[in-house]
Structure 1
Amino acid sequence: MAAPEGHQATTPADHAREAAVEATLTRLDLDAKARLLGGQDMWSLPALPEIGLPSLVMSDGPIGVRGVRWSADDPSIALPSPTALAAAWDPELARRAGRLLAQEARRKGVHVLLAPTVNLHRSPLGGRHFEAYSEDPYLTGRIAAGYVTGVQEGGVGTTAKHFVANDAETDRFTVNNLVSERALRELYLAPFEHIVENAHPWGIMTAYNTVNGTTMTEHHHLVNEVLRGEWGFDGCNVSDWMAARSTKGAIEGGLDIAMPGPATVYGEPLARAVRSGEVEESTVDTAVRNVLRLAARVGILEGAEPVVTELPPPVDGEALAREIARRSFVLVRNQGALPLKPGTVALSGAAARDARILGGGSATVFPDRIVSPLDGLTAALPEGSVSYRVGADPNTELAVAEKGFSLRAICRDADGTVLGTRSAPNGQIQWMGADLPEGVTHDRLHTVELTGTFTPRETGTHTFGIKGLGAFRLAVDGTTHYDDVQRADKDDPFVSFFGAPEPRAEVGLTAGEPVEVSLTHVVDLPDDLPMKVVGFALAHLDPRRDPDELIAEAVEAARHADTAVVVVATTDRVESEGYDRKDLTLPGRQDDLVRAVAAANPNTVVIVNSGSPVELPWRADVSAILLGWFPGQEGGAALADVLTGAHEPGGRLPTTWGTLADAPVTRVVPVNGELPYDEGVFIGYPAWERAGRTPAYPFGHGLGYTDWTYESVEVQGATVRVRLRNSGSRAGREVVQVYLAPEPDPERPGRRLAGFAGAEAGPGESVEVTVEIPRRAFEIWDEKTSSWAYVKGSYEIQVGRSIEDRRVTATINV
C-alpha cells in the first residue's frame, strides 16, 4: 500500500513497517479497531493480544517523564522549564534534552511523551507560558524540532502540542479563538509546520479550544487538509485529555485517539456509528492505521521493526539538568557585581531555601533531589561565608505537605478493613485508573487515610488544609479540626489537582517536636466519570511572621555582607496550567525586600525565578539581575556555577520582558465565549516596535562575562557569514542573531528573527559563524490566494546581540 499523502517511505524499513501495519489492519474487526482508538485508562490504549499489540503508554512532559503514576514515590529527572531551554538558543542542547527524556521514558515503560508545548507567548498574562518556548515562531520551531528529534532518536514518540492557538488558559475548554488565516499561518501554525518538516514527529496533540468556530478535535481543515495534506504529517493525532466531544465530528475531523478512557467518544460509540451508517469504516481504518504506525515506530507492533534499533549512549540526567540551567540563565543587568568577588554573601528570599524549580499543572514531575540556591551557594563558597534570612515569602497559600512530613496512605473498605498501603512522600494522592496500592480495587475502596508525623522547623501557628473534593476528616496532634465536605466552585474538571487548598486548621506547634497528623477522605466516585481518579492532598503553611520584621532581618544581614543576593519568585498560584495571570507583579512583599536590601548594600544581585516575564520596578537600583526561570532540580548548583564565575550565564531572552501597562497585546479573557486575535501578526517584539514602546529588556537580550566585537557580515544568496571577536578577558559564548528587515510596510513586521548561531572563542580570538536564512523568511501568507507569496524587493540583514542591539548590517535584493 502507498504511504499517506505527502509522505514517502524512503527506506526498506519504512516500507516494511507500512506493510506490517496494513497486514495487521486486515486482521482487526470493527469492534477491535474502535476500541484501539480510545484510552483504556488515564495514560494507555488497550492491548490487542490477538495481533501481538501490547498496551501503548503515554505520559506527560515536557521537563520530565512522570510515567503512569502521578506521585512523588515514583521520582523523575526534572529539567528546567521550556522557557529556560529556549533561552539557551541551542537546538542541539534541546536535542540532548530529548534524548535524556527518551531514556527516562524507557525506564518508566512509556512509549509516547506528551510534549513539547509549542504554543506562543501571545500575551504575557498566559498562565502556562513557562511550558512553551517563546513569543517568536521561528525560535520556537527550531528548539522544538531539536527536542522532538532527540526524543525520537531514543525510540520514544512525541506529540507536539497544543494544535493550535491554545495560547491562554482562561475558558480553555470552550473559548472560540478568532484568528485570521494569515496570523495562523505566519505565527501559530508556523512552529508545528517547522517541526513536521524538520523533525517528522510521530504524534500531534489537538487542543481543547475552538478556532474560528470549530473545536480543534474536529477541525477537518486544519488537521486533514493542512497538517496531513499540505505538510504531509503521517503521525498520530491525540486529543488533549477530555477534549473530544463528538464521535462523528472527531473521527471525520482527523482525531485518531480520544483520551483518556475507558469512557470516550470512540470504542463502542464509534462502532455503533459505523454500523448505523453515520461514519464510514474506511475513516476508522485511516485512524487505526495511524495508531498502528505509531506502535510500529516505537517497537511494540508484532512483526514490525522499530525505527530505532540502536539506542543512543546513556545520558547523565543530573549533569545535563545542571548544564541546561546554567546555559539558560539570562544576565540582563551587571554593574560589576558578577562574578562574585571574594567575601561574605547575605542570601535572602523564601525561594532561596525552598526552591521554585517548575511550574504548576500537568508539567509537574517529582525529582528525587532538589538543589536550592541556598544549598548550591553553601556548597560552592567557603564555609561560613553565606548567611540566610527569609526576607519575604510570597507563599501566602498552603502548599502540599512535604518538608517535615513523614506520611503513608492507608486504604480501607466500608467496614474499616485495611486493603492496602502506599508511601506518600509529599502528602498528595493522585491515583488514576488502575494505579492503586496492591490489594486495592475501586469497588471495595471506601476511605484513604494519609497518616504520619509532622516535625515543624519553626515555632508558631501552623496552618493545615485540604486540597480536593468530597468528604474529609482532618486531625492534628489528636484533635479533629475538620469533618465535612468540600465542594467545587468551578467547572474545570482539573480543579482538584490544580486548585488552591482550603485552610481548615490552625495549630500552635514547637520547632523540632513531632506531632501526629491524619487526613481521611471518603472516596465517592460518580459512575459517569470517564475514568476513576482518587485525588486529594494534605496541605500546610508555616507560621506567618510580621513581613516588616522579615525584611528588617534581611536588610541587617545585607548591610554587613560584601554581596547581597536576593531570590524572588512566582508561586504555583501565579504560573500554572488552568488559569491565566492577573498581572505581572511579584507576589507578596518581594519588591519591598529588594528595594530595602539594595538600599543597604549597593552590591545587590537579584535572582528571578519565574517561568515568564514579571515586572522589576527596582531594576535600576540593583547591581545585577539574573533571570533563572524555573531551573529544574539542579538549579541551585547551576546558580552557584554562574555566580562564582565557574561558568558564564549563557541565556538570551526568548520573549520580551516589560510592564503590563506597556505590553501591546494583553487580552486573554473571552467575551461571550470569543477571543479575537485582533493584533493579527503583531505579537511579541514586532508588536512592541509597532507600538513604539520600550520594554525593560528586549527579545534576544542577554549578557555574559566577556565582550564581543562584531567585525563584519557577508551575504551570498541566503547565506549570511558573520565574523566576530571576543574582545573581553575570558572565554565565552555568544548567540549571533540575524534579523530580516523588509522595505517598510505597515502590514508587515519591521523585522523578524531569520536565523541564529552560537559562537565560542577565547580572549582576543575571532570566529566566523554561518547562518542560512530560510525561504519562508521572505514570504507572507496571501489571504486572497490562500497561499504563500514570495515578496521581492530590498531587505536589510541586521546582525547583533538582540532585536535592539544590532551591530552589523548588509542589504540584499531578492
Structure 2
Amino acid sequence: MTDRLATLVDALTLEEQVSLLSGADFWSLPAIARLDIGKLRVTDGPNGARGSGSLIGGVTAAAFPVGIAIGATWDPDLAQEIGAAIAQEVKSKGAHVSLAPTVNIQRSVTNGRNFECYSEDPELTAALAVGYINGLQSQGVAATVKHFAGNESEIQRTTISSDVDERTLREVYLRPFEAAVKDAGTWAVMSSYNRLNGTYTAENRWLLTDVLRRDWGFDGVVMSDWFGSRSTAPTINAGLDLEMPGPTRDRGAALVAAVEAGEVTRDTVRTRALAILRLMDRTGALDDTTPFAERADDRPEHRALIRRAGAAGMVMLRNDGILPLADPARIAVIGPNAKVARIMGGGSAQLNPHYSITPWDALAARMGDNALNFAQGCDNHRWQPLIGQPVTVDYFANETLDGAPVHTEVQDGTTAFLMEHVGGGHCDPRHFSLRATTQFTPDSDGTWRFGLHVAGLARLTVDGQPLLNAWEDWTPGRTFFEEGNDEVTADIALTAGQPVEVVMEFRTRASDNLHISGWRFGAARLLGADDIAQAVAAAAQADVALVFVGRSGEWDTEGWDLEDIALPGAQDALVAAVTAANPRTIVVLQTGGPVEMPWLDATAAVLQAWYPGQEAGNAIADVLFGDAEPGGRLAQTFPRVMADNPTGRADPAAYPGVNGHVRYDEGVFTGHRHYDRAGTQPLFPLGWGLSYTTFALSDMRVTPDASGAQVSITVTNTGDRAGSTVPLVFVGDGNAPVERPLRELKGFAKVHLAAGERREVAFNLPPRAFAWFDAGQGAWCVTGGRYTVEAGFDAGSLPLTAMVDIAAQTLPR
C-alpha cells in the first residue's frame, strides 16, 4: 500500500493536503470526494467508546473497568482482551480510532486522572499499555497513546510547564510511550496540553521529532489534545500531524499562507498528510464509504468480560477471615456508595453505559431484600445531586435571553455539556443563552442545599426567589475542565411532597483555553448525626455490616486534582461508628487512588473495588461471596498519610507548581522508589493484595547471559483453593556514578495455580533492566559490576535475594 499512498498524497492539491491536517468537526476529519478518500472518525476512551455524543447522554456503550483497576490486575493478557473488546465498541460507534490508552505515571496521589492511569511504575504501565494496544489494533482500530508527555497533574494543565530532566523523562515518564511505539507499534499518539520544559508539547520538536520519530522510529500520527494546538508553523514543523478538534483554528488557510510565506515547506505538509493517509489505510477509513451510524451494541460476552475483569482488579487490603462471606442471615448495607453504581471516573473518559448495577441490587438479587437493611449514614458528593426530573430548555440565539426561543427541548436531568450543535444547531456554540425549567419535589422535610456550577454565567431561582448567583459573582474554579466556577450553594427549608419550580438562566462567556460551555445544578437534604445513628443501629442488629464508601467521578475527574486523600464528608466518622457497633464490619472502597484509613485496624476486612465498570455491583458481590478471587494487587503505593507520598512534602514549586511551572524535583524516585529512599513505611506497598488462598516463593536462580540475565522462581499455592498471585522481581544497582533507586521493578508475572500446585516461573532481564539513562552521552548505560536481584509478592516484603555480575555496556536509544 506504500506506493498507493505515495501516489495518492501527490495527487492532492496543497489545500487538500492541508485539509487532512485538522478536524472537520469534533470527532472526524474531512473526506475528499474527488479522490474517493473517506472520513476518519475518532472516539474517546479508554474505558469504553463513547461515540460522537456529548460527555452526558448519547448512544449507550459498554463501560469497562478504569485504568487503575486494570493496573491492579497486573495482567497484560487481560488488558489485551479488554482492548480487543473495546475495539468492537469503537466500531459500533462508527469510528476508526480510539483515544486511548492513558499511560501517564501516577506521580502523586491527588492527580484528578489518577484513576485513568495504570500505575506509579513505568514497567508495569508499559506492559499493560502494550497489551491494550495490541488488543485494539488486532481488530483494525488505532490506539492513540496519551498524553505525551508530562501530564501528571490537572492543575493549570493547559498552560503549566512540567520541568523534568531528561534522565527522569527517559527512565520514568517516557517509558510507557516508548514501549507503545517499539513493542506495540501504536498507530497514533496524542500530545498533552502542558508545556514540557517551557515548550508546549504540541510544538516541542525534541519530543515529537527527535525522541518519538528519530529515536523510537514512530511512523504514525501525532494529534493534539482537543484545543491543545496553539500555533500554525511551530506545531507542524515540530511534528504535530493533526490539529483537533475541527473546525480548524490554526491551520486551513493559515497553514496555506504559512507555506506560501516560506514558514513551512511543502514537503513538511506532504509528510504530515502522508501520515494521515497511512493511518486511514491501517484502520480501513481510507476506503470506508459506509454511512455514519452509531449503535448500542450490548454484547453478553462484553458483560461477562467486564464482570470478570472487575473482580480481577479488586484488591483485598485486609481480611481477618470473614471473607469470603458464607451467606449471613442479616446484612446491614451502609454508606453513600451502596445504592449508587460507581462505575467510572469523570471527564472525557465518561460515557453513557448500557446499564449499571449497584452493590445493593447485586446483593438483593443474591440474598433477597429481606436479608438486607439499608442506611445511608452520610453523603460523599462533591456537587449537589442532580434533579432527575424532565427539564425544559429554551435556547436563544443571543446572550441576553431576548426574543422567542429558537429551539426548545426536554432533557433528563439538570446538567448539560455543550460543544457543538447547540440549540438544535440554531445557536452559535460560543454565543447563546438558555433558560432551563424543572420541578423539584422533596421527599422529606428539612433543610435542602442547592448547588450550581457552570462553564458560562448563570443564576437560579426557586419558586421565583433568587437563590444562586454565578452571573455577576462568577469566579473561575475547577469544574468543566477548569472552564467553570466552583459550585455555589445555598440552603432552603422545604416541605416533603410540596413541589417547587426551579429555573436556571445561562449565557456564554469567553472561554479561557477550551471552547466549551456547560451547566449543572442539583439539590440534596443535609445529612447529620441522626443519619449516622441510623447506620449504627442497623449495624448493631446485623450479622455483618457492609460499608460502601469512597469517592465518585465528581472527585476523580479530569480537570482538577484532589485537595487531600481523606474520604470526603463524614465517611471516616461513619466507618468508625459502624465498626464500634459491629466488629464484623467489611469496608468496600471505591476510589480512583489511595485514601487514608484511620479506622483500618477496627475493620474485619477492606476491599478496594476501584471503579470496575458497569458490572460494579455484580463483580463486588462475586468477590465478597467467593465466587471470584480478589485478583488485584496494588499498582500504586498507599501512603499512611498524604504527606508521605512523593509530592506530599515537596516545595510548592514541585507540586502543585508556582508561576506556571511545576518541577519534578523527585526525579526518578517515584512511587515505591520514593518510599525506599525516604525510609517511610507505607500503609500498603506496591503489589500488596490478599487472596482466598496462600502462596509461597522459593528456589530463585539468577543466571547471567549475553542478553542480561535469566531469573527463575518456584511459585507454590499452599492453600486449599485455586487462586492467582503476582511474583515481582526487582533490580538494585550500587555501581552507577549517579544516584539510583534502592530497587526498581523489572519483572512480574500473573500466575494462576490450583490448590497445592507448584510452577517454575521464568523472567527475562534484558540489558535495559540494568541500565540508566546518561543524558550527557544520550544513551542507556549499564555500569559493570554486581547487581542485587530481589523477589517477593510486594515491594515491602522481598524474601528472595541473589547477586549477579553484569558487564558494562552502552545501549542505543
Q: Normalization by structure 1: what TM-score?
A: 0.90
Are residue 360 (structure 1) and residue 346 (structure 2) matched? yes
Amino acid in the other structure paired with 1:359:
G
Residue 257 of structure 2 corresponds to residue 266 of structure 1: no
Shift of 1:169: 1.6
The amino acid across from 1:732 in the alignment is: G
Q: Does 1:398 align with 2:384?
A: yes
Counterpart in the other structure of 1:98:
83
Task: Return the match for 2:612 from 631, 643, 646.
Answer: 631
Q: CA–CA distance in 1 between the matches of 2:192 and 2:461?
A: 41
Alpha-carbon distance, 1:799 to partner: 2.1
Task: Name whichever of 260-269 and 559-568 sits farther off.
Answer: 260-269
Alignment match, 2:293:
none
Q: In the TM superposition, what is the alpha-carbon distance from 1:326 to its structure 2 partner?
A: 0.9
Is the aligned partner of 1:774 residue 2:766? Answer: yes
Q: How does 1:291-690 map to 2 (within 5 A)?
A: 291-302=276-287, 316-341=301-326, 342-395=328-381, 397-402=383-388, 405-407=389-391, 409-411=393-395, 420=407, 422=409, 424-434=411-421, 437=424, 440=426, 442=428, 447-454=433-440, 456-470=442-456, 472=458, 474=460, 476=462, 485=471, 488-490=474-476, 494-495=480-481, 500-503=486-489, 506=492, 508-510=494-496, 517-522=502-507, 524=508, 533-537=516-520, 539-546=521-528, 548-572=529-553, 574-658=555-639, 659-666=641-648, 667-690=654-677
Deviations 1:718-755 (A, max 9, x none): 33232222111211111122222333667111111111
Change (3 A) 1:446 1:795: closer
Q: SS in structure 2 opposite 1:246? A: coil
SS at match of 1:301: helix
Q: Give the 3 Å change call, closer, same or farther, for CA 494–593 of structure 1 in structure 2.
A: closer
Equivalence map 1:190-269=2 (5 Å): 190-269=175-254
Structure 2 residue 733 is the aligned partner of structure 1 residue 742: yes
1:139 paired residue number: 124
Q: Distance in 1 between matches of 2:77 and 2:158?
A: 35
Give the drift of 1:536.
2.4
Deviation at 1:676, TM superposition (A): 1.7
Aligned match for 2:13, one of 5, 21, 29: 29
Deviation at 1:641, TM superposition (A): 0.5
Secondary structure, in 3 states, of the residue corresponding to 1:585?
coil
| Correspondence for 1:803 | 795
Hey, what's the Cα distance between the residues in 1 that align with 2:755 and 2:776?
53
Partner-residue secondary structure (3-state), 1:710: strand
Q: Distance in 1 between matches of 2:484 and 2:92?
A: 27
**Would the alpha carbon gap of residues 497 and 328 (structure 1) be closer, same or farther in structure 2, given more than 3 Å must change?**
farther
Could you give the per-residue CA deviations for residues 446-477 of structure 1, whole angstroms, max 9, x where no partner exists? 65444455454544344444332445464556
Deviations, residues 153-173 of structure 1 (Å, cap 9, x unaligned) = 222212111111111122222
1:203 shift after superposition: 0.5
Q: 1:498 to 1:105 in 2, by over 3 A?
A: farther
Whole-angstrom CA distance in 2 between matches of 1:682 and 1:57: 40
Partner residue, 2:785: 793
Measure how far apart 1:542 and its partner are. Answer: 1.6
1:331 to partner: Cα distance: 0.6
Which amino acid is the alignment partner of residue 747 of structure 1? E
Distance in 2 separating the partners of 1:607 and 1:493: 28
Q: Deviations over 1:765-813 (max 9, x none)?
A: 2223232223311111112211011233223332221112224333322
String of CA shifts for 1:49-70, please: whole Å, max 9, x gaps: 2222233222221112111111
* TM-score, normalisation: structure 2: 0.90
Contact 1:356–1:569 (Cα < 8 Å) also in 2? no
1:65 touches 1:76 (CA, 8 Å); kept in 2?
Answer: yes
* Correspondence 1:714 to 2:701: yes
Q: Distance in 1 between matches of 2:512 and 2:3?
A: 39
Cα gap change, 1:105/1:456 in structure 2, threshold over 3 Å: closer, same or farther?
A: farther
Distance, in Å, in 2 between the alignment partners of 1:446 and 1:166 is: 33
Aligned length: 784
CA separation in 2, counterparts of 1:529 and 1:169? 15
Map Cα deviations across residues 106-151 of structure 1 (whole Å, 9 max, x no partner). 1111221111111111122222211111110000011111111111
1:681 Cα deviation from its structure 2 partner: 0.9
Q: Distance in 1 between matches of 2:410 and 2:50?
A: 17
> How has the CA–CA distance of structure 1 residues 419 and 75 changed in structure 2, closer, same or farther, with 3 Å as cutoff?
farther
Query: Pairwise CA RMSD of aligned residues?
Result: 2.9
CA contact (8 A) 1:337 1:623 kept: yes
Give me the whole-angstrom Cα distance separating, in 2, the residues matched to 1:76 and 1:792. 53
Q: Identity over aligned residues, as a percent? A: 38
- Aligned pair in 2 of structure 1 residues 212, 669: CA closer, same or farther (>3 Å)? same
Amino acid at match of 1:773: L
Question: What secondary structure sits across from 2:11 in the alignment?
Answer: coil
Gaps of 5+ in 2: 291-296, 649-653, 807-813
Q: How far apart are the structure 2 equivalents of 1:502 and 1:226?
A: 45
What residue is the counterpart of 1:9 in the other structure?
none
| Structure 1 residues 628 and 504: alpha-carbon distance in aligned structure 2, compared to 1, 3 A threshold | same
SS at 1:359 equivalent: coil
CA contact (8 A) 1:138 1:753 kept: yes
Q: In the alignment, is the contact (CA less than 8 A) between 1:72 and 1:424 conserved in 2?
A: no
Asked if 2 retains the 8 angstrom alpha-carbon contact of 1:391 and 1:554, the reply is yes
Distance 2:478 2:565 in 1: 24
1:628 Cα offset (Å):
1.3
Structure 1 645/457 Cα, relative in aligned 2: closer, same or farther at 3 Å? farther
1:12 equivalent in structure 2: none
Cα 1:294/1:331, change in 2 over 3 Å? same
Question: Residue type of the partner of 1:41?
Answer: D
> In the aligned structure 1, how far is the partner of 2:445 from the partner of 2:59?
32
2:164 maps to: 179
Q: 2:752 aligns with which of 757, 760, 779?
A: 760
Residues 455 and 483 in structure 2, CA contact (< 8 A), matched pair in contact too = no
Q: Letter of the aligned partner of 2:18 in structure 1?
A: A
Corresponding position of 1:45: 29
The amino acid across from 1:60 in the alignment is D
Give yes or no for contact 1:359–1:575 (8 Å, CA) kept in 2.
Answer: yes
